[in-house]
Amino acid sequence: MDFHYSTGDFFDEMFLPDGQVREHYRTYYERIRGLTEEEFRQRKQAIDSYFLRTGITFTVYGDSEGTERIIPFDLVPRIIPAHEWKTIESGLIQRITALNLFLKDVYNDQKIIRDGVIPAHYILSAKHFRREFLRFRVPKDIYIHICGTDLIRDEHGTYMVLEDNGRCPSGVSYVLENRVAMKRAFPNLFVNSGVRSIDHYPRELLNMLRYIAPPGVDNPTVVLLTPGLFNSAYFEHTYLARQMGIEIVEGSDLLVRDGCVYMRTTRGPQRVHVIYRRIDDDFLDPSVFRRDSVLGVTGLVNAYRLGKVSLANSIGTGVADDKVIYYFVPKMIKYYLDQEPILPNVPTYLAQEEKHRKYIIENAHKLVIKSANESGGYGMLIGPQASKAEVESFVEKVKSDPRNYIAQEPIKLSRHPTYTGKNFAGRHIDLRPFILYGEKITIIPGGLTRVALREGSLVVNSSQGGGGKDTWVLAEQHNS
């Protein structure tokens, strides 16, 4: 089959502008080019039915039949050479280190505010800043244990950070399952290909969770707290719990007695030491946060404060997810580590700053404007693609609530050959690596590559026609 298409103005992951295949894709390309269209279609079908059969699906809500859909999977893997990965890895380690120092600082001494690096009002007005936890020292001083950082590449191929997800990042189960599917469909591709393995992720995750157990507990009981069956990430919750061999619990399975957390078992209450929670702060404990929460556990926050149970991630990390705070991450890196950021931010403007705001209002049709605390492609305006009326109404929103809006220069996301069902075409992609912060910082080589399957689309959400790819990081000796 013929992969070639015009790379246009974009950075193409596989092809140079003159149509030559990039060095690190050559082995793959040589092995795959001989396949016929029919063979490709068959493998695509085999993978889709594998996902459906094993239940690797997400639930479509608002449908009484409870329709479950698979996340579209693209057969062409994204390949990252060793030297690029090295940069990404050190950039991510630098970033998570700074973010954790930042969280420790804002919940304790607030030096970064006193030294004038970040204005106090930005932090105090952050939606997910938990003043209840001021002066509370979290176990081992780690706030964000699991982080999913979204990376994109611009038209020159420069990796940039689009956002950090320091609350409950999800998607790692698809990283692992995409690899399994890929191995089933193309077993021969992996022979001597130098693709680094990723299947140790659940073990690393469990090690990290055990590491943060309360002091004096040698053999901690770790559980995963899920919102339940109706949550769209439920598959991932059961998947991770199964891989780690820990119990998956719902709020109603837990109870707090004398400051300790227990789970209800058929043989009575059993003590729990570490909770990998996939529930937002707001819902954790109805006696502290949202009173109407039926997913949480009454008394859990108190047990946490007493040090009888550890949580991953810690409470209050959402302040770092705020897109206004994102603007300050390069400054944090400089401030705490005295280093230059290895991975740059996308050029960003804060609507709250007068100069920036003026620029944003004048150039709204050229910029991407985002709400500070929304995700999933919601609450944003892509200026160049929006109508005049849309731009105007969004500008009004920005004017009325400047604290909660930022703007970014639009980035021409890199493209990757993607199977369209008929042929191959360039589609925009991003990358979400998963970072674990325990005794040491671990990043499994690769991450979730998401692809905007619709032609020209920049949005890689599945709700807006996005899918996933297997991501290969090559070992050193396979660089060329």
In the beta sheet, which residues pair with residue 79? 472
Q: Verify binding: residue 446, another protein, rule CB under 8 A.
A: no
The residue within the footprint of another protein, chosen from 117, 334, 461, 465 (CB under 8 A), is: 461
Q: By CB under 8 A, is residue 283 in contact with another protein?
A: yes
Q: Which two tokens stand for residue 198?
A: 């990723």
298 counts as binding another protein under rule CB under 8 A:
no
Go through the chain and tell me how many residues it has.
480
167 near another protein, rule: CB under 8 A: yes
Tell whether residue 459 is a contact of another protein (CB under 8 A): yes
Q: Does 53 bind another protein (CB under 8 A)?
A: yes
Residue from the set 199, 229, 362, 455 that interacts with another protein by CB under 8 A: 229
Question: Per residue, what are the HEC states of 180-206?
Answer: HHHHHHCHHHHCCCCECCCCCHHHHHH
Q: 69 vs 200, which CB is nearer to another protein?
A: 69
450 binds another protein (CB under 8 A): yes
Buried b (16+ CB within 10 A) or exposed e, 133-154: beeeebbeebbbbbbbbbbbbb
| Residue among 205, 227, 178 at smallest CA distance from 54 | 178
| Residue 48 contacts another protein per CB under 8 A | no
Of 77, 139, 148, 447, which lies in the binding site for another protein, with binding defined by CB under 8 A?
148
Q: In the stretch 186-225, what mask flags binding to another protein with x, by CB under 8 A?
A: ----------------------------------------
Whole-number CA gyration radius for the chain: 23
Pick from 4, 23, 37, 60 the residue near another protein by CB under 8 A. 60
Three-class DSSP category at 441: strand
Q: Does 62 bind another protein (CB under 8 A)?
A: yes
Position among 26, 31, 35, 59 found at the interface with another protein (CB under 8 A): 59
Helix H or strand E segment including 442: strand 441-443
Q: Which is nearer to another protein, 119 or 465 (CB)?
A: 465
> Does 418 sit near another protein (CB under 8 A)?
no
Q: Which is nearer to another protein, 293 or 348 (CB)?
A: 293
Min dist. Cβ of residue 267 to another protein (A):
8
Closer CB to another protein, 291 or 422, in the complex: 291
1-6 CB contacts, 8 Å cutoff, 24+ apart: 1/32, 1/33, 1/35, 1/36, 1/37, 1/40, 1/423, 1/424, 2/423, 2/424, 3/29, 3/33, 3/417, 3/424, 4/424, 5/417, 5/423, 5/424, 5/425, 5/426
Phi then psi for residue 91, to 5 deg, are: -65, -40
- Answer yes or no whether residue 134 interacts with another protein by CB under 8 A: no
Nearer residue to another protein within complex by CB, 43 or 432: 432
Among 70, 138, 175, 241, indicate the residue that binds another protein (CB under 8 A).
Answer: 241
- Residues contacting another protein: total by CB under 8 A: 64
Does the footprint of another protein cover residue 404 (CB under 8 A)? no
Q: How far is the CB of 444 from another protein (least distance, A)?
A: 17
Q: Which residues lie closer than 8 Å to 226 by C-beta, 6 or more apart?
A: 234, 237, 238, 248, 249, 250, 278, 279
Interface with another protein includes 54 (CB under 8 A)?
A: yes
**Interface with another protein, residue 55, by CB under 8 A:** yes
Q: Does 95 bind another protein (CB under 8 A)?
A: no
Give me 100's structure tokens: 């954790």
Q: How far apart (Å, rounded) are the C-alpha atoms in residues 85 and 104? A: 28
Pure H helices in 188-313: 201-211, 234-244, 281-284, 300-305
**How many helices (DSSP H) and strands (DSSP E) are in the chain?**
14, 22
Please report, as ranges, the residues that interact with another protein according to CB under 8 A.
52-55, 58-62, 65, 71, 148, 165, 167-171, 174, 227-234, 238-239, 241-242, 245, 247-250, 252-253, 263-266, 278-280, 283, 292-295, 321, 375-378, 432, 450, 459-463, 466, 468
